[in-house]
Amino acid sequence: MTAAAPAPLRVWLDEGGQLLRLRLARPKANVIDAAMIAALDRALAEHLARPDLLGLLIDAEGPNFSFGASVEEHLPGRCASMLKSLHAMLLRLVASPVPVLVAARGQCLGGGLELALAGTLLFIAPDARLGQPEIKLGVVAPAASCLLPERIGRAQADELLLSGRSLDAAGALALGLATAVAADPEGAALAWFKEHLAGKSAASLRHAMRASRCDLVERVGAKLARVEALYLEDLMATRDAVEGLEAFLAKRPPKWEHR
């Protein structure tokens, strides 16, 4: 009898039940695949409505936050269901009634960075590398295309999305992508929670979040629907998008035909 796969996500309540903890638990890659997306969405649906909740902290086991989304699940025939579930989960995070703190070490790429971008504040380790490398595979990052300009401005977001390059910790901090760089990013996020959120009224905090982010939720939701359609209906109909994904999985250079 085959042993069941370990749960992709650890979920618990901390700080007297007022801080929801979510920890990606499939190191070292912590791939954002269908199982991880479903686990994240279930945890958010179950706990975000707690009336006394003051915050959410997302971090990861192992040396890396996440290598990104599953490339296999981006292939034709699988990408529609994966993207729709990923985007629904990310929009739930963007609309979170409490602040979402993210702590990241090592690689924070692709869908992993999209998860971080859907949060409120990002604390990173000095070894962090953040980027959206999708263009190198012949595809695009739909959620990051909507969230990154909101975080760092359109010109800076365009440069990262079009180049596919990664930022080091200093670069991410300089652009305002990261809130702080700390040797222990989880500890820094917890310290921020204890100093700035603990002891506040959960009801008042929820109204502060709504006041601050209601227009963001509306903009991101509307744009993401358009970009998701562009990805599924237009981009995935091109030869090069499929070639880039297949080349990556085969560990060979892509052969672009520009069509």
pLDDT classification of 104: cutoffs 50, 70, 90: very high
- Looking at the DSSP assignment, which residues form a beta bridge with residue 94? none
Q: Please say if the pLDDT value at position 41 is more than 70.
A: yes
Gap between the Cα atoms of 255 and 225, Å rounded: 30
DSSP state of 66: B
Q: Where are the beta strands (DSSP E) in the chain?
A: 9-14, 19-24, 55-60, 100-104, 107-109, 121-124, 129-131, 166-168, 180-181
Give me the residue spans of the domains in the chain. Answer: 1-185+201-259
Per-residue pLDDT reduced to its tens digit, 6-22 = 899 999 999 999 999 99
- Looking at the DSSP assignment, which residues form a beta bridge with residue 181? 124
Cα Rg for the chain, rounded, in angstroms? 18
Q: What is the DSSP string of 17-62?
A: TTEEEEEE-STTT--B-HHHHHHHHHHHHHHTT-TT--EEEEEESS
Q: Domain 1-185+201-259 is of which CATH architecture?
A: Alpha-Beta Complex (3.90)
> Across the chain, what does the average pLDDT equal?
96
